[in-house]
Copies of this chain bind each other. A is one copy, B any other.
Amino acid sequence: MKSQIVTFLIKCPDQKGLVAKFTSFFYEEGFNILSCQQYVNGIADRYYMRIRLDAEDVGISKKDLEDKFSNLAEVLECTWSVHYDSEKQNVAILVSHTSHCLYDLLERQREGAIDCNISLIISNHNKLKPIADMFGVPYYHLPITKETKAEQEAQVIQLLSEHNVDLIVMARYMQILSENFINQYPQRIINIHHSFLPAFQGADPYRRAYERGVKLIGATAHYTTVDLDEGPIIEQDVERITHESTPKTLKQIGADVERLVLAKAVKCHLQHQIIVSDNRAIVFPESGE
């Protein structure tokens, strides 16, 4: 039963005996360990763990588990979080004009390929409303002008708050979020950039890729931070192109890379596979339990 699965994400300074200590803790609490993934960064002397537990037959409440683990965490100087699969996450999608990523996410959610609620779609344009309607998801059209930018953002934040949104996906939302906004959702905003970052950071990457004559184009999904296009990279991919490719065909080829890269990143986030450390995203592979 999925609802009994618990995931811990843990980071702490490296030291002898960590895996034994953590796994013994959960074993002694009666959990069956479904998978236990680790990463030791030998350069920074940091330790990272993602551990998946089957809570069947384990009586302990979430509150008690958190309290107990806190004691161990304090001793080992851990930063950590715990997630119950039974608590479905609420997702907001932000879009502008471009539809392919929106379609893709809506369809995956509807067909069960990603497990979440898509609570609402917010856009600075009205163009994609028919797609929201097709899938029966509330669509909020909040236009932006230079004068209303701050006000519009406040409305967005208000909506996110009302819907208890856990994750914000910028599915080709062509607006720069304010520092204030970003700081309210640390590592909870995912953006798709239509280039293989750090190449072609900034605007109009396909045009620039054409002009530079690259032989591969790509897309990058990353957490949004206050440094534009500089946030921790979650997923990237590329596709081969040729000299025949025009800026227009690059856009079409790139669209398929974008949608897959974004979908993978969103899935990794929703499945609690990611720990961010400095500006790097440690993305544990999906465990096959």
Contacts and interface: CB of A to CB of B under 8 A. Distances in A.
A235 interface: yes
Interface residues of A, number: 68
B199 A216 contact: no
Scoring A134, A260, A288, A289 by chain B CB atoms within 10 A of each residue's CB, the highest score goes to A288
Given A238-B238, A244-B286, A252 B113 contact: yes
Given A99-B111, A199-B196, A252-B113, A243 B282 contact: yes
Given A197-B199, A260-B256, A213 B23 contact: no
Nearest to A16: B32
Each complex incorporates copies of this chain amounting to 4
A101 to B, nearest CB: 11
Interface in A77-104: 99-100, 103
Interface of A: 16-20, 23-24, 26-27, 32-36, 38-43, 99-100, 103, 107, 111, 113, 134-135, 196-200, 211-216, 218, 232-238, 240, 242-246, 249, 252, 255-256, 260, 279-283, 285-289
